[in-house]
Amino acid sequence: MESVQAIKQRFEIIGNDVKLNRALEKAIQVAPTDISVLVTGESGVGKEAIPKIIHALSHRKHAKYIAVNCGAIPEGTIDSELFGHEKGAFTGATQTRSGYFEVADGGTIFLDEVGELPLTTQVRLLRVLENGEFLKVGSSKVQKTNVRIVAATNIQMIEAIQKGKFREDLYYRLSTVEIHIPALRERHEDIHLLFRKFASDFGQKYKMPTIRLEEDAVRLLQQYRWPGNIRQLRNIAEQLSVLEQDRTVSAPTLRSYLPDAGSNLPAVVTPRKADSDFSNEREILYKVLFDMKSDLNDLKKLTLELLKHDDTEKVQEEHGQLIRKIYGREQDLEEEEHTVAVLPAASPESQVHSPSVSTPAPPPPPEDRYHFAEEIQEEETLSLQEKEIELIAKALERNKGKRKAAAAELGISERTLYRKIKQYDL
């Protein structure tokens, strides 16, 4: 069994953090077995290194290793990508195709962003984990596969399970052993080591002297929150290597490259103004729509009461509070003598109380009652759909057509946004 230090050198892993070392130890220990592993951690922490280590130290190391980004494959084709399809299974399937589970038989499959898998695909994956069986899309023939599955996710799986977005039984199948990779901000002493490695690499790549940090810049580097983790640190090192003429970087210079780094304190990541304004606009719009829906329901209720009874005064007595809510009246209708009548009169007797006011058109007859309710519901549904189209169009325009950024702004997945764009032909 190789040591942690040897693994670091072999896979170019830098750092001496205790949590990082523990994650590597677990990977080394589980590698010789065939149990499933779930790698957790924030985006950009380097989770992809763990499945490579596990595969390289396992008895499957001479077989195929396939990495699949589940979040990058459209929902409509992911089953075909993973399990294959038969000729004619769907439009465009001109020939039989082998999926990743068939191609990687005897090897290892790394499922990155496994939390993005559709529920239907989760059911298929669970069957593979339980008995090694799967069906190609469009086929009824059961096929067997012998693969080692290592999955990774940057979402909170328990929350996803509670929201019904991920199957609980699949989660426990995948996480027989869970390996957590710490965020960069938790590896305080490793930050400068990583920066020096990146600066040296980029200095050689661009044939320029290596960037060095002054002491105050090192402190700022270590105190910054690093929301993008190692990926963000690497990008900062590359920017400094390319753009800075002075190869010794001070804290003020470094601060200009760090988003939201207004002081030496850990940065608090706040939403962009555009995102915040859009979010507030969306919340206000939703509130208005829900209030409209409530008013429509109240009007439908009142209309049905009028259809059931001929006595308008009785309806006013029994539903006075509802009438005041709809029309914003503060006093009882019975105590007002010179106001315009709100409800249509149903009989000559009731018209005596307001002789100077013309009677509004009567409500729809009983046979049209349900048709009237259907029209209200249809109008309400169309309004919500139009607003959704308007929100999506605004988000796409604001982000210059970039679907990933627009999906993040709307608070939905990129796959859902793609489906909406196709549905509304945007």
Indicate the residue type of 341: A
Question: In the prediction, which pLDDT does 279 show?
Answer: 56
83 close to 137: Cβ distance less than 8 angstroms = yes
Q: Dihedral sign, CA of 304, 309, 311, 315? A: negative
User: What are the beta bridge partners of residue 85?
Assistant: 97, 137
pLDDT confidence of residue 322: 63
Note the pLDDT of residue 347. 45
pTM listed for this prediction = 0.60
pLDDT number for residue 338: 44
- Residue 328: predicted pLDDT: 55
Give the model's pLDDT for residue 317: 66
Give the pLDDT score at 349.
43
In the prediction, which pLDDT does 301 show? Answer: 73
| Topology, domain 4-182 | Rossmann fold (3.40.50)
Domain residues of the chain, as ranges? 4-182, 186-255, 273-329+361-420
| Residue at token pair 């169309």 | 382
* Cα Rg of the chain (Å, integer): 32
Domain 186-255: state its class: mainly alpha
Please count the other Cβ atoms lying within 10 Å of the Cβ belonging to residue 196. 17
State how far the Cα of 326 lies from the Cα of 36, in Å rounded to an integer: 59
Taking 70 as the pLDDT cut, the residues of the chain under it are 1, 261-283, 286, 302, 304-384
Q: Are 101 and 134 in contact (CB under 8 A)?
A: yes
Alpha carbons 165 and 156: distance in angstroms, whole number: 11
pLDDT of residue 80: 92
Which residue type does 172 have? Y
Give SS3 for 144.
strand
pLDDT at 277: 53
